[in-house]
Structure 1
Amino acid sequence: PRSGTVRAARLLAEIGDSRARFPTPEALACLAGVAPSTRQSGKLRSVGFRWACDKQLRDTVTDFAADTRHVNPWAANLYNRARTRGHDHPHTVRILARAWLHIIWHCWQDHIAYDPTKHNALQRLLNPNQQAA
């Protein structure tokens, strides 16, 4: 939703066409800089912003994610839930971008197009207690 020709081309250019490059959706999320970075040593553990990443890919994915919340009820719901948990806007957009990258990765690996009706049906099945948006 709302990817458009230019944004879709930019996503494809940044991700590339080698499916073997990203064995898991987390590998793609880490390269895009939308997965949190954990630093730990002995007794100390810190989870924070991932600085080491592909900046252009992060910009592309977060731009896409921020825009989808205006037209996709699932994305708007995820964004609003993260905001009510106290996250600021940039952090919330990264949370949403990470969720979208999981979806994009699965569609890419399975050679299928994104179908919002299937995705919404799956979300209702996985979260029966939440109201449908």
Structure 2
Amino acid sequence: MILRIDHVGVVTSDIGAAAPALALLDLKCTYEDDVDVYGVATSFWQCPGDTTSIELVAPVREDAAVHGHLKRLGPGLNHVAFEVDDIDADLRALQDRGAILVDEEPRRGGRPGLRVAFAHLGPATGLLVELVDYGKRA
């Protein structure tokens, strides 16, 4: 079940160059990490007191998952991430409803303990969604 919007992913070719734009909005960088399975670096930005983030995503190697997006569309909105309570069940439910899975199985995400999976909702929206599951939160 979808619990909330977790973050919005924005692709850039250079996180260091994009970060000052988010700082203009008084957003603060709350976490940075490399996600090797996708070949990207990430940084998460939040308004004080809010748990929803903007994630900057940049390629760190030639086979990075976001190179196609950058080549076709340039920097900008890449995905909307939804926190779910059971990523395995929710991924199968999306597939059963007609979504096109990018990830057949959840993978390690860009924050500690996070499992993620991506799916396309289809050409009517062009929307790439990410399911995120933090597991049992304290």
- Settle same-fold status: TM greater than 0.5: no
Q: 1 or 2, which has the higher strand percentage?
A: 2
Who wins on radius of gyration, i.e. which is larger? 1
What is the TM-score normalised by the length of structure 1?
0.28
Q: 1 or 2, which has the higher helix percentage?
A: 1
What is the TM-score normalised by the length of structure 2?
0.27
